[in-house]
Chains A and B, each alone.
Chain A
Amino acid sequence: MNSIVSVKGLHKTFGGRPVLSNINMEVSSGEFVVIFGPNGAGKTTLIKTIATLTQPTKGIVSIEGREAHKHSVDVRRSIGLVSHDTFLYDSLTAEENLLFYGRMFGVDEELLKNRVNQLISDSGLDMRMRDRVATFSKGMKQRLSIARALIHSPCVLLLDEPYSGLDPEATEIFNNFVIRDKDIRVKIMASHNIENGFKLCTRAVIVQNGKIVFNRQKSDIGDAEDFELIYREILGF
């Protein structure tokens, strides 16, 4: 199977301190890779590097066969990023936010209106479409943030700890939204929520001290309890 996302020999140092060391990862179409690991392990840096927000110190990230950091402007058309920051403008309405990002991504103006309506509907925000984002709850903002990340129908969805501050109900709604989109071929998520992350993944990766220490298909791991055991053992607690 051809990889949609390919990471080869990735190193990243921040001010002399190594944050990622020799990361190698191939993600194929249909996979949902969840990256687990303690705080400071390098998960966020890895996601941001794949997203082209951070430059690698060494190594190559490829998206659909193209070198991501060489062709970053181009490659970003294929990527959607959801972070614990929403990238939303509080004083604009939900609709205005989506229209703005849609235009920034070059979505055809004629199709844009429909796409915005569709996404707003999918995120269950129909009633609040014309309300300013500042008036939204955290859960609603996160849902809108996914809608924003999907406005241009990317084939790669990157999620960086998207659950912080979400209650169980909001988490459920968020999960459903993430799973539903058919255009997304690859999902990569960094999470410290083991139970939820394991439920959603098809492959689990554990990062510790900037290195990948575990990388397996879910069917090879067992159930959530098995994974928790493995996780604890690897991290030593």
Chain B
Amino acid sequence: MTEKLIKDSDIAIQINDLNLWYGTTHALKDISIDIPRNKVTSLIGPSGCGKSTFIRCLNRMNDLIRSCRIEGEVLVDGENIYDDNVDVVELRKRVGMVFQKPNPFPMSIADNISYGPRIHGEKDKKRLESITEEALSSAALWDEVSDRLSKSALDLSGGQQQRLCIARTLAVKPEIILFDEPCSALDPISTAKIEELIMDLKNEYTIVIVTHNMQQAARISDYTAYFLLGELIEYGDTEQIFENPQEKSTEDYITGRFG
């Protein structure tokens, strides 16, 4: 469906002929797409188009839904994550996810960040402290919370909680970070801060972001994929998609004729 936009060596995730059913509903149809490394790829489309379902395939979050059946391949660094012998816990460490509503643990800020590394075996206090500082700095939150790391994370504002969740993901050193509408529950200022952060993060990480806000997609992403009714309609350079869409459907969506 997509032309070879990206060199093989620059592909972080390769999706081949992905199909997904919830029970009898065919929710994703023949999706093939290459996600480039160290770039921001945004997934846009109207409600119910399958973008959230799709992004959850990239780190097997859909496993939890029993009625969900998947066919096709999702290759991360050349390996199909749906193979039987894949360690899902390891996978979710490499491919982290940040959700629409922040979901911090009911613990101190520091404990929130160190929870992941500790589960994965890190015991050294000093290392945990430096991991925490690093993660919070990378998430542009350190300056705001460095003096109250032992305070409860639930006391932070929505935007800060979201950055905390990002820091939490960063603490386990992922390669890829998936964002599912991370700003939809936030005010404009927090949104701007997170957008800035995402554009920063792409230097070290591969970013995939679902957004219903087209302006946001246009602002921050390098590549954009447009979904409709479970199908990938068009995928390409963000500039090209927004200024010169090839498909009529894409054009209609972008110009606001529907969705």
Q: Distance (Å) between the CB of B122 and the closest chain A CB?
A: 12
Counting CB contacts under 8 A, is B107 at the interface?
yes
Counting CB contacts under 8 A, is B138 at the interface?
no
Counting CB contacts under 8 A, is B106 at the interface?
yes
B106–A199 touching, CB < 8 Å: yes
Given A179-B152, A230-B65, A234-B66, the answer on whether A224 and B103 have CB atoms closer than 8 Å is yes
Q: For B105, give the chain A residue with the smallest CB separation.
A: A202
Q: For B92, give the chain A residue with the smallest CB separation.
A: A220
Q: Which residues of A contact B118 (CB under 8 A)?
A: 30
| 8 Å CB contact of B119 from A199, A217, A224, A229 | A217
Q: Which of B125-171 touch A at CB < 8 Å?
A: 152, 154, 168
Q: Which residues of B contact A233 (CB under 8 A)?
A: 65-67
Counting CB contacts under 8 A, is A48 at the interface?
no
B64–A223 touching, CB < 8 Å: no
Counting CB contacts under 8 A, is B202 at the interface?
no
Q: Which residues of B contact A134 (CB under 8 A)?
A: none
B64–A200 touching, CB < 8 Å: no
Please classify the interface of chain A as helix (H, G, I), strand (E, B), loop, or mixed, using the class held by over half of its residues: helix
B154–A221 touching, CB < 8 Å: no
Q: Distance (Å) between the CB of B109 and the closest chain A CB?
A: 12
Total cross-chain contacts (CB, 8 A): 64
Q: Which residues of B contact A225 (CB under 8 A)?
A: 99-101
Q: Which residues of B contact A234 (CB under 8 A)?
A: 66
Interchain CA distance A212-B88 in the complex, whole Å: 21
A180–B152 touching, CB < 8 Å: yes
- The interface on chain B, measured as residues whose beta carbon lies within 8 A of the other chain's beta carbons, has a size of 26
Interchain CA distance A222-B210 in the complex, whole Å: 15
Q: For A224, give the chain B residue with the smallest CB separation.
A: B101
B100–A179 touching, CB < 8 Å: no
Between B64, B66, B89, B107, the greatest number of chain A beta carbons within 10 A of the residue's beta carbon is seen for B64
Interchain CA distance A118-B103 in the complex, whole Å: 30
The contact string, 1 if C-beta is below 8 Å from chain B, for chain A 196-226, is 0011111000000000000011111111111
Interchain CA distance A180-B64 in the complex, whole Å: 31
| 8 Å CB contact of B106 from A32, A223, A230 | A32
Counting CB contacts under 8 A, is A86 at the interface?
no
Interchain CA distance A216-B101 in the complex, whole Å: 19
Counting CB contacts under 8 A, is A78 at the interface?
no
Q: For A178, give the chain B residue with the smallest CB separation.
A: B106
Counting CB contacts under 8 A, is B46 at the interface?
no
Q: Distance (Å) between the CB of A33 and the closest chain B CB?
A: 12
Interchain CA distance A202-B103 in the complex, whole Å: 10
Given A175-B154, A234-B66, the answer on whether A222 and B97 have CB atoms closer than 8 Å is yes
A226–B61 touching, CB < 8 Å: yes
| 8 Å CB contact of A216 from B64, B105, B115 | B64
Q: Which of B69-104 touch A at CB < 8 Å?
A: 88-89, 92, 97, 99-101, 103
Given A220-B92, A230-B65, A233-B65, the answer on whether A175 and B99 have CB atoms closer than 8 Å is no
B105–A222 touching, CB < 8 Å: no
The contact string, 1 if C-beta is below 8 Å from chain B, for chain A 38-49, is 000000000000
Q: Which of B154-210 touch A at CB < 8 Å?
A: 154, 168, 180
Q: Which residues of B contact A178 (CB under 8 A)?
A: 106
Given A200-B106, A202-B115, the answer on whether A222 and B65 have CB atoms closer than 8 Å is no
Q: Which residues of B contact A200 (CB under 8 A)?
A: 106
Nearest 4 Cβ contacts at the A-B interface? A223-B99, A179-B106, A200-B106, A223-B101
Binding site for B on A (CB under 8 A): 30, 32, 175-176, 178-180, 198-202, 216-226, 229-230, 233-234
Binding site for A on B (CB under 8 A): 56, 61, 64-67, 88-89, 92, 97, 99-101, 103, 105-107, 111, 115-116, 118-119, 152, 154, 168, 180
8 A-B contacts, Cβ less than 8 Å apart? A179-B152, A199-B103, A200-B106, A218-B103, A222-B99, A223-B103, A223-B180, A230-B64
